[in-house]
Structure 1
Amino acid sequence: MRGPTKTTELFLIMRNQYLNAEHPFAQYVRILGKGKSSSRSLSLDEARDAMAMIVAGEVEPVQLGAFLMLLRVKEESPEELAGFVMAAKIAIEKRRDEALKNAGLPAIAVDLDWSSYAGKRKHYPWFLLAVKLLCQHGVRIFMHGASGHTSNRLYTEAVLPSLDLAACQSWAEASAAIANNNFAYLPVRELEPMLDDMIQLRSLLGLRSPVHTLTRLLNPTQAPAVMQAIFHPAYRESHQRAALLLGYANSCVIKGEGGEIERNPDGTCLAKRVVSGEPVDEDWPMIFDQRHSPEELLSDDVMLRVWHGEQAHEYGEMAIIGTVALTLRTLALSDTPENAMIMATSLWQQRHDTPAKALIARL
């Protein structure tokens, strides 16, 4: 029997070298997991390159799980957040532009980006009535979010239809909804499926991952103002600094009720803002001295009755007014928190007057 030819030997050598070669993504797992003394955070460029590989599907599942959990333990830096968002935005914008072009539609122009990824558990999603009120007065809002990743929570996507707010399933639908009613919600699975896949790993890994954080900074329509909320107070600083790195001229991040963009009237509120490209911290006092009890059951009908003036809800109405006031400040439509509260109260009280006066003048 003849032995292996030189060609066969060369092939076997090359195959073994290939099988033993380090995967390109391994370097990023190693940077994060090399131990207490040797591990470090990713630079902005490294984070951007790592996320670009992830959204392109170039990472093995075991690598992705290790990467996300190492970040979760370490907690992501502002540079990592900004780099992740930069890569994700490139993928999102490619899908968005292609979808709008195929539908023969122009770019979507909005005034405010609003993320909704947490879901509500203790209180109603009163922020949705704040959004409805703002849109009624001409503020164009693009909302994006995810649902179903954590049990026992009421998610935005499920509530929107009952409030006559558009839950869209494509960029073309979102374009029409903005044009007709100043509002559109698009799930993150339509923005970039890989981001949604990572969010849905919550039930498999048992923990939320950094994806829940970075999605709040996506601003898929390049809105001039960005509203964000976090659940853990320490993340306010990271989001503010990441917004600066991303070049967002005007943004606001708060510890929102349940992690959604909603001011809790039972506590003080620190708004970490970016105003004309500069960091600004703003303290808002508590509205109520005593805490309100959580709701026993969340029903859309209650929110509708409050909107139509058929039912009073002390906590809910002040949550709406407080959230509107924060938004007015972010949109530079009020010069102080006090004036923003007065203006927001007036808007709420006059919500059924017609026609509604536009808050933002358009050329």
Structure 2
Amino acid sequence: MTQPTPPRPLTLQTPAEHPFAEFVRILGKGKRGARGLTRDEAYAAMTLLLEGKVEDAQLGAFLMLLRHKEESAEELAGFTEALRAHLQAPAIAVDLDWPTYAGKKRHLPWYLLAAKCLAANGVRILMHGGGAHTAGRLYTEQLLGLLQIPLCRSWDEVERTLGQDNLAFFPLQDWAPQLQRMIDLRNTLGLRSPIHSLARVLNPLGAKCGLQSIFHPGYQAVHREASRLLGDHAVVIKGDGGEIEVNPDVISHLYGATDGQAWDEEWPALSERRHVKPASLQPEYLLAFWRGNVEDSYGEKAVIATMALALRGLGQNRDTAFATARQYWDARNRSI
């Protein structure tokens, strides 16, 4: 009788831990064990993300754990340093870094007219955005053609366009596609991720001043501190709808960072009564307003105050900034 062959013993091998698992564990190790990332850890984690060395499951867990915890200034600074090192952007002189990622839903994007007017007066502005990721909002990318804001698809185009027009829009997907992919997960994960906040801090060309708009209370000071840690000059506000646009109906608090020092400034509301928001957003109305074919109290105050904000970031005091902004607006070339 043939004896049965004994089963071969199992060979158990413990798989090596994925290098990114450490960072998920730091954020998610329970109420007592979890903590935020240090600046160096944030740098290392973002480097792996940018190099495509992270599994999708890890990416989703990482972003949502950060979102639940709320990102710190140290984390934002570390993430930004990693992106800048990875990006190796060329040296292009820029006055203002102008991130535009939120979109508008209550008022028209008056900030675009402010940027155009500043550019017409020699202020060099790099705008960048992450596409129309949320339904029901009007995004910068949708108005570039209407308002004749140049769309660039490479750093060479940015440099050439800034030399000609002082204003260029460069989509995030063309210079940091890894971050664009994370932003695009918004509808998969059901929540915005910290990358929406991070994009405001990046200032990829090291502009003289980075303008930032953070809508949610409490985050403005965190962003200011991240820019201070990076040694950047920045002005952070709670802009209308999350865009860099002063709401003239409310008090505006400026959170500034200059030469490593934090400063605060409060601007009073410019209108005694709140304006009624329009029933619908008609982009062509912006053209009519620029050309002087219609008057709009809210729009005029928003445009001039937003220009003043930018000029304040470039070193002018408030009164001078408002006077200069008014001069620029009144003397604009109305053909567009």
TM-score range, shorter chain: over 0.9
Q: Match of 2:61?
A: 66
SS at match of 2:253: strand
Q: Match of 1:128?
A: 112
State the one-letter code of the partner of 2:188: L
Aligned pairs (5 A) from 1:140-155: 140-155=124-139
Distance 1:346 1:2 in 2: 95
Distance 2:217 2:266 in 1: 14
Question: Per-residue CA shift, 1:10-63, capped at 9, x if unaligned?
Answer: xx66xx23xx22111111111111111111111000011001111111111111
Q: Match of 1:236?
A: 220
Q: Which runs of 5+ in 2 are unaligned?
A: none
Work out which of the residue numbers 242, 260, 275 in structure 1 matches 2:243: 260
* 1:163 counterpart = 2:147: yes
Distance 1:34 1:153 in 2: 37
State the one-letter code of the partner of 1:204: T
Native 8 Å contact 1:120 1:153 kept in 2: yes
Distance 2:144 2:214 in 1: 21
SS at match of 1:345: helix
Native 8 Å contact 2:126 2:168 kept in 1: yes
SS at match of 2:170: strand
- After the TM superposition, list the runs of 4 or more consecutive aligned residues in structure 1 that deviate by more than 3 angstroms: 1-5
* 1:326 counterpart = 2:321: no
Q: Match of 1:313?
A: 296
Aligned pairs (5 A) from 1:283-362: 283-332=266-315, 334-335=316-317, 337-352=318-333
Native 8 Å contact 1:325 1:341 kept in 2: yes
Q: Which runs of 5+ in 1 are unaligned?
A: 98-106, 355-363
Work out which of the residue numbers 183, 186, 191 in structure 1 matches 2:175: 191
Q: Compute the displacement of 1:280 (Å).
A: 0.6
Distance 1:78 1:70 in 2: 16
Q: Match of 2:27?
A: 32
Work out which of the residue numbers 225, 230, 241 in structure 2 matches 1:246: 230
Give the alignment's Cα RMSD to 1 decimal. Answer: 2.0
Q: Compute the displacement of 1:3 (Å).
A: 9.9
Q: Match of 1:357?
A: none
State the one-letter code of the partner of 1:343: T
Aligned pairs (5 A) from 1:15-26: 16-17=13-14, 20-26=15-21
Q: Compute the displacement of 1:212 (Å).
A: 0.3
Q: Match of 2:156?
A: 172
State the one-letter code of the partner of 2:247: N
Q: Match of 1:79?
A: 74
Q: Compute the displacement of 1:353 (Å).
A: 8.8
Native 8 Å contact 1:91 1:192 kept in 2: no
Q: TM-score scaled by structure 2?
A: 0.94
Identity over aligned pairs, percent: 47
Work out which of the residue numbers 245, 254, 265 in structure 2 matches 1:282: 265
State the one-letter code of the partner of 1:277: G
